[in-house]
Amino acid sequence: MQVALFIIFGLLAVAGALNLLYQRHPINSALSLIVVMMSLAVLYFSLGAEFLAAAQVIVYSGAVMVLFVFVIMLLNAGEEVHTRGSKMAYIAGIPGTTAIFCILTFVFLKQRNALGATHLRDSLSGTSSNITEVSHQLFTSLLLPFEVTSILILVAILGAVVLARRES
């Protein structure tokens, strides 16, 4: 079953990357990049890297792509070209979404008992999970670099706002 998920989301990531290259409108390219990032998150999750999958969704698919779309809209100095949408979305969008939904529903219903069993087994046996280890390291020995990085990102965002508001 894991091989089937890997093949499906690997092909979805490759298709999203090819769609990213063939799009003429930058917003459609950014949306294709979100498809690639979400597919990679599912691949990370299927490999047992839950924290990396969650970080992929939150950081890259969420925050970074919002910034990409913001910069694209901010720098779009020309007149907006209205398109009828991506041809790839019309051809593969509805059938692909339906197929992925059906496959994921089948996998989750078939593996219903095993989904929560790992966490329960870890808490009963006293072993810690991947997320517990990473969060312990992040908030104990790496707390100062973590906070310095957040301040650096805040300064970069303020600098971008100042540069965007400056009139030429």
Same domain, 157 and 103: no
In a shared domain, residues 1 and 76 = yes
Do 65 and 94 belong to one domain?
Answer: no
Q: How many domains does the chain have?
A: 3
**Predicted local confidence at residue 69, as pLDDT:** 77
pLDDT given at position 93: 75
- 48 and 20 in a single domain? The answer is yes
**Boundary-marking domain end, from 50, 80, 110:** 80
CATH of the domain at 38: 1.20.120.1200
* Cα–Cα distance list, 4 to 43, 87, 104, 106, 107 (Å): 11, 26, 11, 12, 10
Q: Who contacts 20 (Cβ-Cβ below 8 Å, separation ≥6)? A: 29, 32, 33, 36
Residues of the chain with pLDDT under 50: 77, 120
For 31-55, give the DSSP string.
HHHHHHHHHHHHHHHHTT-HHHHHH
Asked if residue 143 and residue 164 are part of one domain, the reply reads yes
> Domain check: are 100 and 26 in the same one?
no
Residues 88 and 75 in one domain: no
Per-residue pLDDT tens for 11-40?
A: 999 999 998 888 877 888 888 888 899 999
Alpha helices by DSSP H, the chain = 2-22, 26-46, 50-55, 65-75, 87-110, 112-115, 117-125, 130-139, 143-165
Residue 152's domain comprises 126-168
Supply the pLDDT for residue 76: 64
Is residue 7 domain-shared with residue 76, that is, in the same domain?
yes
Residues 53 and 13 in one domain: yes
- Give 57's DSSP letter: I
pTM of the model: 0.57
